[in-house]
Structure 1
């Protein structure tokens, strides 16, 4: 294991903090050290070669060794696979933004790098970053993936889920990986695999379905919308269908109705992030023009659930405002609007936001949320919004207040 590690001139490569001479030591600690030593090494690798989502020349060189460890150290395979998936993910987002397939993305990024060098000395040459590095990192992960597929035969759900997450970041390999993802969904509810594995497969299918390679995954996801599956699986499948442009209104509104159950199921799973409710709210936005009042009523009921469970509800509030406006743009929508012109549903919704919105985090004002409210043309304090949402008195109504 780690054969060839010392043949690389790591000092000539770069990571987030300069020359990458320390990367071989971290790779050795991850492969051969005790559990505490390996955990610290993994933390340093995230910080050095994947610093806040940035990849470096040292990242490209490290990928084959991380993949090798996933095969050789089964007790650390899940963590190595998760690191590889994280390293590859920004490139997939770039592909989606550019509307390019994998090979087209590689060519485009190489062309961008050449153009920079033709104009002036590229900053990437100094810091070990650049479009060509981003493409090289993803290509390195794609080359490593085929050798990792035998890990699907492992019985450890954590390893299987991490490997599935990785397959979602390599769209050009979908032909080889889709059978494994479909197997992970389970042939029937009685024989379905571990729910964490199923959720990972749903995320991977949704990701692959968005790419230009665009494998046909809609039937796999729609099969998960039946009542035989848990509320969390149905919600995740419905959100994934929206991501690939095949959204269905009813499963999403059912997910809002079961919001408390969904959150409890999701939060109980490692790492317990509880993101499902905002994801469902976001997925409903395209339906606001046709179903605004129904969506608004359901989101009003969801807001206190989100607040009670500590879910950041900015996405819920944004969808609620969009629903009130029947899908119209929200920017400055309430600027200059008089209280007397608010309808009953407007007042109910704004009152719920005033009471349950994320106005504070711990003991500090949540600036992102107050800025969001100003963007709508609404008061940026709970007290101000509650006052705005109240029905004006009789004489003020006569005056058109």
Structure 2
């Protein structure tokens, strides 16, 4: 343990970790992992982060130990060892908003709705039900189990993920004032991480919004700047249109995409305040980004630019120019970088292959550019389950239906969109 970091862990041993839980029952091991984050052993530190991700944030679930760990992680993010600070920010972001909350929205998180739903399944609401279960149990073993659950609920716990996740979210919310110093950190990755985290806290926007706009204006790192601008668009009131619109003329296409995405979200608040001309420019910018994706991407939508464009397009107010919308659809539809539910892939097949291929099947080079892109992305996709889940549809269409056969079919073809790089994911963006 490096003494200079001891002050960051003040109070760590005062917590009754044994009385708290994580994915593997007792949280007694949590303080040891947190202490290791401030040590000098890089391998041990990486293992400690892995253990924390798997225990206090297990596949998106949060536990009673999760919010208690937050203040210590926040201190490490601000002033801990350089090797630990970014990972601490990653863990804080996950504890606040897991990937379902974070990546399924292009309009910002509805915290008011989240709080209302969580209130209905909190410990106080469920305690009467637990007590009824205890009273109704006729078997001694069942009564003991029901009593154990009742005592667990009486201690302030709820089995509902909406309630338990909100406890961690609020713990991170309480740390945001201290984390704001990261907006001026020397490390661009940490500036990016705090800008990204702030995007999901509308209740803090009175403080964070001016900071994010200022960061977008002065930031030299394009990813940090775009992250801050889009965060401002997710948080801001309709008056933020005036702040975001000038970036449609930015030299960097990533900034233009961030501005366009922010404006589409703001148009959902009040379409008239954005205006059809500005909204049309925003949609056109999405189409341009989908046609020629850039190498640098933000972490929004898990870094999947085309999926994020699709979701932004879905948030468009009624009455948008159908021709421009169709152009954007045609540009993003074939690109499958990550599709955790398979819905984007199924829709792409429906749109791009409406009927089975003739027999014998055409050569890859004879397909349309969009069809080539779709099959090329799937041939090199890093998640093989996506191809397996699409096998029946590929077979019905008269197309190769295993990843190996797709790779043979696609071969080393190089078209106007560039060559497909198998083993990465087929993405050029």
TM-score by length of 1: 0.70
Distance of 1:350 and 1:124 partners within structure 2? 58
Distance of 2:400 and 2:219 partners within structure 1? 49
Aligned equivalent of 1:151: 182
Helix, strand or coil: the match of 2:294? helix
Aligned equivalent of 2:62: 55
Q: Deviation string for 1:315-344 (max 9, x for gaps)? A: 7767768989xxxxxxxx979xxxxxxxxx
How many Å apart are 1:63 and its aligned residue?
0.6
Distance of 1:152 and 1:199 partners within structure 2? 14
Distance of 1:177 and 1:302 partners within structure 2? 32
Aligned equivalent of 2:312: 283
Distance change (3 Å), C-alpha of 1:242 and 1:215: closer
Are 2:202 and 2:235, in contact at CA under 8 Å, matched by a contact in 1? yes
How many Å apart are 1:46 and its aligned residue?
1.0
Distance change (3 Å), C-alpha of 1:352 and 1:284: farther
Distance of 2:389 and 2:328 partners within structure 1? 24
Helix, strand or coil: the match of 1:217? helix
Match of 2:22 among 15, 28, 35: 15
How many Å apart are 1:240 and its aligned residue?
3.1
Match of 1:202 among 219, 222, 229: 229
User: Quick check: 1:78 aligned with 2:86?
Assistant: yes
Are 1:320 and 1:349, in contact at CA under 8 Å, matched by a contact in 2? no
User: Quick check: 1:181 aligned with 2:190?
Assistant: no
Instruction: Note the residue ranges of structure 2 that are not aligned, 5 or more in a row.
Output: 1-6, 131-145, 356-366, 402-429
Superposition pairs for residues 220-369 of structure 1, below 5 Å?
220-226=243-249, 228-244=250-266, 245=268, 248-259=279-290, 261-266=292-297, 275-285=304-314, 291-292=321-322, 295-296=325-326, 300=330, 306=335, 356=376, 358=378, 361=381, 366-369=387-390
Q: Deviation string for 1:346-387 (max 9, x for gaps)? A: x9698557755637847777144457x69xxx9455369xxx
Distance of 1:315 and 1:108 partners within structure 2? 27
Superposition pairs for residues 361-400 of structure 1, below 5 Å?
361=381, 366-369=387-390, 379=396, 382=399
Distance change (3 Å), C-alpha of 1:153 and 1:279: closer
Number of equivalent positions? 347
Are 2:195 and 2:228, in contact at CA under 8 Å, matched by a contact in 1? yes
Are 2:21 and 2:63, in contact at CA under 8 Å, matched by a contact in 1? yes
Q: Deviation string for 1:96-136 (max 9, x for gaps)? A: 8998545x754652442233232236699489753443222
How many Å apart are 1:29 and its aligned residue?
0.3
Instruction: Note the residue ranges of structure 1 that are not aligned, 5 or more in a row.
Output: 325-332, 336-346, 385-401
Distance of 2:301 and 2:166 partners within structure 1? 32
Helix, strand or coil: the match of 1:193? coil
Helix, strand or coil: the match of 1:358? helix
Helix, strand or coil: the match of 1:263? coil
Are 1:123 and 1:129, in contact at CA under 8 Å, matched by a contact in 2? no
Distance change (3 Å), C-alpha of 1:291 and 1:311: farther
Distance of 1:147 and 1:367 partners within structure 2? 46
Distance change (3 Å), C-alpha of 1:46 and 1:88: same
Helix, strand or coil: the match of 1:32? coil
Distance of 1:98 and 1:299 partners within structure 2? 22
Match of 2:127 among 93, 111, 117: 117
Distance of 1:231 and 1:217 partners within structure 2? 20
Aligned equivalent of 1:65: 72
Q: CA RMSD in A?
A: 4.4
Aligned equivalent of 1:328: none
Are 1:185 and 1:201, in contact at CA under 8 Å, matched by a contact in 2? yes
Distance change (3 Å), C-alpha of 1:321 and 1:116: same
How many Å apart are 1:299 and its aligned residue?
5.0
Are 1:168 and 1:204, in contact at CA under 8 Å, matched by a contact in 2? yes
